[in-house]
Every structure is written in structure tokens, then in C-alpha cells.
Structure 1
Amino acid sequence: MKHVIAGMTLALVALLPASAAENPLVESQTWTDISGDIIGEVALQDGESLIRLEAPYRAEDAATVPIVIEQTDPGREITALKLVIDENPAPLAGEFRFGPAMHPLKFETRVRVDQYSNLRAIAETEAGSFMTGRFVKASGGCSAPATKDPAAALAGMGEMRLRMFDAAEPLQSTARREAQIMIRHPNYSGLQRDQITQLFIPPHFIHELEVYQGDELLFSLEGGISISENPVFRFDYTDNGAPELKVHAVDTEGNVFDAVLPKVPPA
């Protein structure tokens, strides 16, 4: 019986994702070369005391690598965050701004990783800037073929959905809520080829995003080519009682997408 239990335990452990300790940041000449362009002369403090970045050690799909950024010390409010993927063609994946309702921060999204690389989260607070990150083994994410042909991808472009994960009443203010916003957009990186013509598909991605509850900003994003196709953002926030979330997005072709998404609790 002991052997059976031990075997089951090992099997369960094998299914768990690699812990953060197994894929810490590694030495990177690339970061030495690009850090000045991304953070200037800002002094970075050890981010492990403030936030945790979770990412798989080996990504199942380099074009949709899930990441979770979670605040471990609620004593400092994170007002902004830069997400950096060292070895990507455009390392700065996105710059986020957060409203007070996002504190303490818990935020998830999916990114493209072009080759084995450090992923960094650089958080800004009144007490300075803090960096943490993980090393991820993935390759080809920025040039991976899109899941749909260009015509099909563009047909539903800009459609949005909101999913609520808790059972709180829609208008219950001061409650801590969990939500997910999904946006249909190919987010072409400029490195993908049309599978029929074999020509490169021009870059076309969402580069501005704002999410509000009522008139209160939850978060904004200045994004690049590293945010995955059909972007997904999952986050915790403090409800202010507004009946809906409002989303405003602009892509690199000048298309503007606006949506009012009611806070409908799960069935």
C-alpha cells in the first residue's frame, strides 16, 4: 500500500508545473545591451520581495506562453509594470498602468517567446522599481503560424467577451472580483508567413488598450508584437459597483474597438 501511495504522489508531482525556484533568471548579455533603452538609469531593486512572476520552464506552445504576475507584498501599490522578453525581436512586450482598484496586483496574460529567454516583470511603486522574472525554454513563438487564415482572422476582429469567475452580485461594491477579458485579434507580429503565398504578413496588432469599470481606469496597455494572438487578460480588482466594464482598444492599422461588457456573474 505504501508503494502505491508513493507512486501516486510521484505521479501527481510530475503533473505540477515547475516551481519558480527551478527557472530563475539567468545571466544575460542581451539584458545588459537592452536595459538602458528599456529602463534608462533607473536602479532596480530585488522584485522577489514584492511580486512573483510565474511562467513554465518549458512552454507547451511558444506562441501562447501563460504568465501570472502576483503581488506578494501588499504594502506597496504597483502603479505600472513593464513586461520584457529579452530575446524577442521587440523585447518590450508591454507597458501596463494600473488604477488603485487593481491593488494588490494579480494579473495574467499570454505572450510569444521567440527563443530561450528570460521573462522579466519590472514593477513601479512610490518606493522605486522592482524586477523579478523567470527563464523560459521556448522557441519560434513570434513566427509561429496563426491559427486561422488571414480572412477568417480579420472577419471577427475586435469582438470581445467578459468572463466573471466569482459568484458575487454584479453591483456589490468593495468586493474583490476576478475577471477575464478576451479580444479577438490576430496580433500579427510581422514575422509570420501566409501559409498559401508564403509571403510575410505585415505586423498588425493591438498597441493601445484601456479597461474601465464605469469611468474608473482599471488598467491600460501599450503593447507590442509579443502579446499573443487573440489577447486574454485575467485579473483581480476591487468592484466599485459599476454595472459593466468598458474596453477601448486601438490597433496599428488605426482600427478602434469599443465594448461595454456587463458584469454578469457566472451561472
Structure 2
Amino acid sequence: MKSRLRMLARYQGKFCVGLAVITLSLTLAIQPVLAEVSDTYWGTLQNTYYPGKKIASGAFIQLTAPSRADSGAQVPFAFSIDYPMTAEKYIKSVSVFVDANPVPLAAIFHFNPSSGKAEISTRIRLESDSLVRVVAEANDGQLYMRTIPVRAEGGCGGAVGGDEAVAKAAAGKMKLALEKPLKIGSFSHVKLLIKHPMFTGLQRDLVTQGFRPAFFINSVEAKYNGKTVMQAATFIGISEDPNIQFGFIPDKPGTLELIIKDNEGGTFNTSIPVKEG
């Protein structure tokens, strides 16, 4: 009996050692997948877009995005900046960069005191795991930055189906809605949906296998009673059928108008009456 127990103990010891080796091997194999998204590209990007300028940390910039997105083609992303929006002091622009994308600059959003707050919610593209960052510029020229890591892939390239001519013909249709209840003189949220394929120029046609030419919205402007309250320059880093939520302060009842333009010269607009209630 004692000899059998000694044999069992030796077997268990060897089994545990073997299991430990397997576990360690699996851990080492998984480590690269779990590694942090590296800050590889920003040095070059900063020299390109902000040469010689100092950029401060923006702790007052709140970023929202999934740590891992289900699809690189539709990644929810939002920023909200806790900063005064007065005539004397306000955030005048916010640039959104996806560092590892073929075209890193996804959009530049312009604000003014009538915007009420520098705040945007939208969907972006990621070609591979990347830091997503915003650089906010105040009206005094000071720059502030905040970053968030996101894991996703395949959002800019890949294959695309459907008839290209049909997709272009349907482009520009919009849905515009105001958050209720709305109060004159208070910050109000707006939801804008735009039908547009946002072809990146890096996608292959499933039938021809050739690259579809870039076709994307490059300008979004919101005007209230004729005055611009938000304007955006957008690029291929914004997802297909853009969904953009923003805000403004209606100082009196009136009309909110959206003017959309794309890189092929198309111009589209829609409007909605604004009143309290």
C-alpha cells in the first residue's frame, strides 16, 4: 500500500509540473494579444499637424469608446469637454485622430459659444488596434489632448458589396431629431442620421475586385436661424451612414438647418422647426 501511495504521489507531482508548463506556455502565447496598444505614431503625427506646439493634458476631456469593438467599421465614439463656452473663453475646435489608420485624421469639429458645449457622439472606423485621441483647441490657442485605446480591425479596407451607382444615388438622405423636452435658452441635443456609403478608397468591389473610389462626406454644418452652431470637416475615418449627435443653445424659437457636402460636390440639406416643449 505504501509503495502504491509513493507511486501515486510521484505521478501527481509530474502531472502538476506538466500542467504548470502548459499553463505558462499558454500565458506567454496570449500575452501579445493582451499587450497595451502602443503609442507608436503620435510623434510623427504631432510634427505633421502641430509642429513646434505644446499640447497639455486635458483631464477635463471625457472620452467614451469600447475597449474592444465588435466591428472596426462601426466603432461608437464620443467626447465631452467640461470647459467654459463663453464669448471670452471657449473650445473652438476638436480634432479626432485614430493613430493607426491609413488616414489618421477622422474629423475636425468646430464650435462657438452658441454650441453650448464641445460635445459629439458618432461612429468611427479602425483599421487595426489603435489609440484614439482628441486634440482640443481653445480660443486662446492653447491645445489639450486626451487618448483612449480601442481594439478593432478591418474598418477601412476589406471588401464592399452592393451596386455602387445605387449607393451613390441614395446618398444624402437625412433624419434630424431634437431631444425632448426642449427649453429655449438651455443646451439641447440633436441627433443627425445621414445615408451615405462613406467609401474609403481602400475597399475592393466584391464583383470587379477593383478598388472603389473614395466617396465620403467632407462637410457637416448646423445653422440655427442662419448662425453656425457646429461645423465639421469629416474624412474616411467616419463610418458608413454617419450618426452624429451634438448640441446647441437655442436663444429663441426658430429653425435648425443642416447642410451636408461630399467630396464629389454633392450638397444636401434638411431643417427642423425649434420651439419649446
Q: TM-score range by the shorter chain?
A: 0.7 to 0.9
Q: Provide TM-score, normalisation by structure 1.
A: 0.82
- How far apart, CA to CA, are the structure 2 residues paired with 1:59 and 1:30? 21
CA contact (8 A) 2:184 2:276 kept: no
Amino acid aligned to 2:57 = D
Report the Cα offset of residue 103 of structure 1: 2.8
- Tell me if 1:161 matches 2:172: no
Corresponding residue for residue 195 of structure 2: 184
- Tell me if 1:109 matches 2:122: yes
Q: Provide TM-score, normalisation by structure 2.
A: 0.79
Map 1:77-116; keep pairs closer than 5 Å. 77-116=90-129
- How far apart, CA to CA, are the structure 2 residues paired with 1:95 and 1:129? 14
The 1:54/1:195 distance shift into structure 2, 3 A limit, reads same
CA contact (8 A) 1:165 1:265 kept: no
State, as a whole percentage, how many aligned pairs show the same letter.
29
- How far apart, CA to CA, are the structure 2 residues paired with 1:128 and 1:36? 16
Partner SS state of residue 91, structure 2? coil
Corresponding residue for residue 229 of structure 1: 240
Partner SS state of residue 79, structure 1? strand
CA contact (8 A) 1:204 1:252 kept: yes
- How far apart, CA to CA, are the structure 1 residues paired with 2:201 and 2:141? 38
Where does structure 1 lack aligned partners over 5 or more consecutive residues? Answer: 1-24
The 1:244/1:148 distance shift into structure 2, 3 A limit, reads farther
Corresponding residue for residue 9 of structure 1: none
Larger radius of gyration: 2
Report the Cα offset of residue 27 of structure 1: 4.3
Report the Cα offset of residue 229 of structure 1: 0.8
- Tell me if 1:121 matches 2:134: yes
- How far apart, CA to CA, are the structure 1 residues paired with 2:40 and 2:74? 25
Alignment equivalent of 2:151, drawn from 122, 128, 137: 137
Report the Cα offset of residue 146 of structure 1: 4.6
- Tell me if 1:210 matches 2:210: no
Report the Cα offset of residue 145 of structure 1: 4.3
- How far apart, CA to CA, are the structure 2 residues paired with 1:205 and 1:78? 26
Report the Cα offset of residue 86 of structure 1: 0.4
Alignment equivalent of 1:151, drawn from 153, 165, 168: 165
CA contact (8 A) 2:178 2:191 kept: yes
1:30-58 superposed Cα distances (whole Å, 9 cap, x missing partner): 1112211122222100111x211111100
1:73-97 superposed Cα distances (whole Å, 9 cap, x missing partner): 4475211011111010111111111
- How far apart, CA to CA, are the structure 1 residues paired with 2:129 and 2:275? 40
CA contact (8 A) 2:161 2:207 kept: no
CA contact (8 A) 1:146 1:229 kept: no
- Tell me if 1:246 matches 2:257: yes
Report the Cα offset of residue 67 of structure 1: 0.8
- How far apart, CA to CA, are the structure 2 residues paired with 1:242 and 1:231? 27
CA contact (8 A) 2:161 2:205 kept: no
Report the Cα offset of residue 68 of structure 1: 1.1
Count of aligned pairs between the two proteins:
239
Report the Cα offset of residue 161 of structure 1: 1.1
The 1:144/1:110 distance shift into structure 2, 3 A limit, reads farther
